[in-house]
């Protein structure tokens, strides 16, 4: 029996615990060697202790050296070549083309954060110079900036084994902030996690980063993850996954002697509002786009459009016919693992048995224990509102179409929505004039509003916000995608009456970093003149 057991720079390939597990090929449902062991209490403690020790050194590292480290990680990931793609595809069932794109996204976001910290505005430097002669009370010299929060625990997602995993957005943004990281590897792709972790470790060595800047622990049980959250060295958590999992981590973090923030992205149903004139004018396009969005990647996206509101009309009847045709010609794919597949079919059966739910169409399935099958269902708005279970996310390729009888029900439905990652609105200029107040309601319900488009596909850029009000996330102010993600792992510090030699470079009068700062209420890159200079 082959057991993985290498450890370096705090990176744990396997633990000394008792529970064993394998990666599993979802296409064959067979184990993939090597066998992995859950991290023991000692190893979890060791990883966290290494992380906190490294943090005190890493936080003093220059932005230039941090950027070099991030870019080197991207380079090392690229060097893994086809081996990474082949192995990841075997562990997840995802296509190689999909994974090639995801690898590029992973590398690009590392480079994006490297550029961000070199530019320096994430420090949010603010300076109010002293007015010693002010009456009746002199004004002190006050200067503020953002500094790293501390060691961060990151939980890898199942559905994005590269972009939201070991070196995904949480890890990239935490390292960019100057935080050290302990990753809880996802048991659905353990060997992929090993390869990516080795790239981080190699980059750390090449760029002279401190031992313990990055650690990784394995485990299938809840114990491993909860132990990470409970360790006093950890100062924040990044998580992408289920509502149940994210809520458990959030509650555990709040029960600590020192509560810490948990930035959990927990998914949503991502409602689609199809307004009357758009439904009439764009029936076929919307129907085709909805099916493509719902079935993309076997529906295993946190932005999968799970419910769709439209008003009862001839156009809606035509819309359902087109959906039926498209779905019945769709062939399913393997899902990430057998547990996810079983959960999907169980949830679909529960929904089918809800009063008022009608089956529009089902797609074809494949012979696999990890199979999926596209499913479109229909229900009236009155019956929908009677059953709260219909408002829960179903992870997989399904959508519930909801029939409204009046325009007012668009507003009612919008006001009753829980927090969402995304909300899409299909409309024409005529619709906008008639429903202009709808947008104001939806702004309070989602992290991203989309006009005439579907939510699958999250652009990694400065303006992206991938978050939303609870229960989509535990903090609607935070994003897990885009450069604003770095804010999660920074804290403000104010320096009062510090001499120039004691101040960090970002706050010195001569502005050695050449960054934009808020000086006495005005944004500027200029040096600060003192005593009439």
Instruction: Report pLDDT digits (tens) over 488-516.
Output: 999 999 999 999 999 999 999 999 999 99
**Residue linked to tokens 């794109």:** 101
Sheet holding 375-380, edge to edge: 358-362, 375-380, 398-404, 307-311, 272-274, 420-426, 446-451
Q: How far apart are the C-alpha atoms of 188 and 491, rounded to whole Å?
A: 34
In a 3-state reduction of DSSP, which class is residue 483? Answer: helix
Name the pLDDT band for 367 (thresholds 50, 70, 90): confident
Residue 11: pLDDT over 90: no
For 522, phi and psi rounded to 5 degrees?
-125, 135
Closest by Cα among 325, 276, 309, 297 to 423: 309
Under 8 Å between Cβ of 445 and 423: yes
Under 8 Å between Cβ of 124 and 506: no
Q: How far apart are the C-alpha atoms of 62 and 85, rounded to whole Å?
A: 33
CA angle 321, 323, 329 (to 5 degrees): 105
Residue 15: pLDDT over 60: no
- What percent of the chain has a predicted confidence (pLDDT) above 90? 92
What per-residue string of b and e applies to 35-67 under the rule 16 or more CB within 10 Å gives b? bbbbbbeebbebbbbbbbbbbeebbebebeebb
Instruction: Give Cα 137 to chain centroid, integer Å.
Output: 48
**Residue linked to tokens 């090639």:** 100
Average pLDDT value for the chain = 94
Is the preceding omega at residue 484 within 30 degrees of 0, hence cis? no
Closest by Cα among 9, 40, 34 to 22: 34
For 5, phi and psi rounded to 5 degrees?
-155, 20
**65: which residues sit within 8 A by CB, 6+ positions away?**
207, 208
pLDDT at residue 4, as a whole number: 39
Residue 1: pLDDT over 60: no
More confident: 29 or 151: 151
Residue 96: pLDDT over 60: yes
Q: Which residues are catalytic?
A: 265, 302
What is the tens place of the pLDDT at every residue in 263-278? Answer: 999 989 999 999 999 9
pLDDT at residue 389, as a whole number: 87
pLDDT at residue 20, as a whole number: 87
Closest by Cα among 148, 202, 157, 218 to 180: 148
What DSSP character marks residue 422?
A: E
- According to DSSP, the β-strands at 522-524 and 517-519 are antiparallel
Name the pLDDT band for 529 (thresholds 50, 70, 90): confident
pLDDT at residue 470, as a whole number: 96
In a 3-state reduction of DSSP, which class is residue 19? Answer: coil
Instruction: Give Cα 482 to chain centroid, integer Å.
Output: 10
Residue 17: pLDDT over 60: no
Closest by Cα among 438, 309, 312 to 385: 309
In a 3-state reduction of DSSP, which class is residue 81? Answer: helix
pLDDT at residue 18, as a whole number: 62
pLDDT at residue 19, as a whole number: 82
Q: Give the DSSP letter string of 165-186.
A: STTSHHHHHHHHHT--EEEE--
Q: How far apart are the C-alpha atoms of 302 and 9, rounded to whole Å?
A: 33
Name the pLDDT band for 530 (thresholds 50, 70, 90): confident
Q: How far apart are the C-alpha atoms of 441 and 423, rounded to whole Å?
A: 11
pLDDT at residue 5, as a whole number: 35
What is the tens place of the pLDDT at every residue in 173-231? Answer: 999 999 999 999 999 999 999 999 999 999 999 999 999 999 999 999 899 999 999 99
What mean pLDDT comes out for the span 343-348?
96
- What percent of the chain has a predicted confidence (pLDDT) above 70? 96
CA atoms within 13 A on the CB side of 437: 6
Residue 10: pLDDT over 70: no
**Residue linked to tokens 């941090």:** 66
CB atoms within 10 A of CB 2: 7
CA angle 235, 102, 459 (to 5 degrees): 75
What is the tens place of the pLDDT at every residue in 369-386? Answer: 999 999 999 999 999 999
Q: How far apart are the C-alpha atoms of 336 and 304, rounded to whole Å?
A: 15
What mean pLDDT comes out for the span 223-251?
96
Q: How far apart are the C-alpha atoms of 97 and 194, rounded to whole Å?
A: 21
Closest by Cα among 201, 198, 139 to 175: 201
What is the tens place of the pLDDT at every residue in 44-55? Answer: 999 999 999 999
Closest by Cα among 494, 487, 492 to 128: 494
In a 3-state reduction of DSSP, which class is residue 193? Answer: helix
Name the pLDDT band for 6 (thresholds 50, 70, 90): very low
Residue 99: pLDDT over 80: yes
- What residue ranges define each of the domains in the chain, with the CATH number in brackets? 7-115+148-266+481-487 (3.40.605.10), 272-451 (3.40.309.10)
């Amino acid at each position: 029996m082959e057991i993985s057991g290498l450890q370096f720079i705090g990176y744990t390939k396997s633990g000394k615990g008792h529970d064993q597990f394998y990666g599993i090929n979802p296409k064959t449902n067979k184990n993939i060697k090597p066998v992995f062991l859950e991290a023991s209490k000692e190893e979890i403690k060791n990883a966290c202790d290494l992380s906190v020790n490294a943090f005190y050194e890493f936080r003093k590292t220059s932005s230039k050296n941090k950027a070099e480290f991030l870019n080197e990680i991207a380079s090392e990931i690229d060097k893994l070549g086809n081996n990474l793609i082949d192995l990841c595809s075997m562990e997840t069932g995802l296509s190689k083309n999909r994974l090639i794109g995801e690898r590029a996204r992973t590398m690009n976001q590392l480079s994006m954060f490297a550029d961000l910290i070199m530019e320096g505005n994430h420090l949010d430097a603010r300076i109010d110079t002293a007015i010693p002669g002010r009456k009746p009370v002199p004004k002190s010299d006050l200067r503020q900036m953002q500094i790293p929060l501390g060691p961060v625990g990151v939980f890898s997602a199942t559905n994005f084994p590269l972009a939201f995993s070991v070196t995904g957005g949480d890890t990239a943004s935490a390292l960019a902030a100057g935080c050290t990281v302990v990753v809880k590897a996802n048991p659905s792709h353990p060997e992929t996690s090993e390869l990516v972790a080795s790239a981080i470790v190699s980059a750390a060595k090449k760029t002279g980063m401190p031992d313990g800047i990055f650690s990784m622990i394995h485990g299938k049980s809840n114990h491993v993850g909860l132990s990470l959250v409970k360790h006093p060295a950890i100062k924040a958590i990044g998580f992408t996954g289920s509502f149940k999992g994210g809520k458990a981590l959030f509650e555990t973090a709040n029960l600590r002697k020192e509560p810490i923030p948990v930035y959990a992205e927990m998914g949503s149903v991502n409602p689609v509002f199809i307004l009357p004139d758009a439904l009439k004018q764009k029936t076929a396009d919307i129907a085709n786009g909805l099916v493509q969005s719902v079935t993309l990647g076997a529906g295993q996206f946190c932005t999968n459009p799970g419910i769709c509101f439209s008003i009862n009309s001839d156009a809606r009847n035509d819309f359902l016919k087109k959906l039926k045709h498209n779905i019945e010609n769709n062939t399913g794919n393997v899902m990430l693992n057998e547990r996810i597949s079983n959960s999907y079919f169980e949830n679909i059966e529960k929904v089918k048995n809800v009063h008022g739910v009608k089956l529009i169409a089902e797609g074809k399935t494949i012979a696999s224990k990890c199979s999926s099958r596209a499913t479109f269902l229909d229900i009236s708005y009155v019956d929908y509102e009677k059953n709260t279970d219909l408002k829960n996310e179903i992870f997989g390729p399904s959508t519930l179409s909801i029939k409204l009888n009046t325009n007012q029900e668009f507003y009612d439905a919008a006001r009753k929505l829980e927090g969402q990652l995304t909300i899409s609105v299909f409309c024409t200029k005529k619709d906008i004039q008639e429903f202009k107040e709808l947008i104001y309601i939806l702004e309070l319900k989602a992290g991203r509003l989309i006009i005439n488009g579907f939510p699958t596909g999250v652009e990694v850029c400065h303006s992206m916000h991938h978050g939303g009000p609870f229960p989509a996330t535990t903090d609607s102010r935070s994003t897990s995608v885009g450069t604003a993600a770095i804010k999660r792992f920074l804290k403000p510090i104010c320096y009062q009456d510090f001499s120039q030699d004691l101040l960090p470079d970002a706050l010195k009068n001569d502005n050695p970093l050449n960054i934009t700062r808020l000086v006495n209420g005005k944004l500027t890159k200029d040096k600060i003149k003192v005593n009439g200079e």
